[in-house]
């Protein structure tokens, strides 16, 4: 299995649907599990938390629920080319990640890769992560979330960050 996290920063690109379908066709040799990024949906929960001081537990649960919309969006874009993770359900069944803003869908995707024994984790983003960058440094730069290095530490998963926005043109 290959776990592919689709960054929410890509949702506004008009070529995302065809580009993602073409990319998934290239991966057709193995089953793919897509993990939707939060994008504007997660940002809306962050703003609500800032205004209403929801607390980390409530904000965490609300952020997970907000991922239903981008999951449905990705399902619409890719049809039956890949399964799409229900992050809320997944995190309820596998409650190992901290309930804080240190965890985003980067860590959820990494945890899904661990749980599903994926050989490969692809992070489709709108930025370049220089090859060989230690994950702790990538987290300090804001390229992945703060908890991501802890999830992947000591794991034998091939992690491939891809600047998908560049690929989409």
Domain-by-domain residue ranges, the chain?
Answer: 2-168
Mind listing the pLDDT tens digit for each residue in 127-143? 999 999 999 999 999 99
Q: What is the pLDDT of residue 29?
A: 83
pLDDT band at 62 (very low <50, low <70, confident <90, very high): very high
CA 69 to chain centre: 14
Q: How far is CA 73 from CA 3, 51, 65, 98, 143, in A?
A: 17, 27, 14, 26, 23
Residue 113 scores a pLDDT above 90: yes
Residue 35 and residue 73: Cα distance in Å, rounded?
A: 12
Architecture of domain 2-168: 3-Layer(aba) Sandwich (3.40)
pLDDT above 90 (res 152):
yes
- Please write the tens of the pLDDT for every residue from 80-105: 999 999 999 999 999 999 999 999 99
């Amino acid at each position: 299995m290959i776990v592919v996290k689709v960054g929410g920063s890509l949702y506004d690109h008009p070529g995302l649907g065809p580009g993602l379908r073409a990319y998934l066709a290239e991966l057709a040799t193995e089953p793919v599990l897509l993990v939707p990024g939060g994008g504007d949906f997660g940002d809306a929960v962050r703003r609500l938390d800032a205004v209403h001081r929801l607390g980390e537990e409530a904000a965490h649960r609300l952020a997970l629920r907000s991922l239903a919309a981008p999951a449905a969006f990705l399902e619409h874009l890719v049809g039956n080319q890949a399964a799409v993770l229900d992050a809320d359900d997944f995190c309820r069944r596998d409650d190992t990640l901290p309930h804080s803003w240190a965890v985003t869908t980067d860590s959820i995707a990494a945890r899904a890769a661990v749980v599903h024994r994926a050989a490969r984790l692809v992070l489709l983003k709108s930025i370049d992560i220089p090859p060989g960058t230690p994950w702790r440094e990538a987290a300090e730069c804001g390229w992945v979330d703060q908890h991501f290095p802890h999830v992947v530490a000591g794991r034998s998963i091939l992690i491939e960050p891809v600047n998908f926005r560049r690929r989409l043109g």
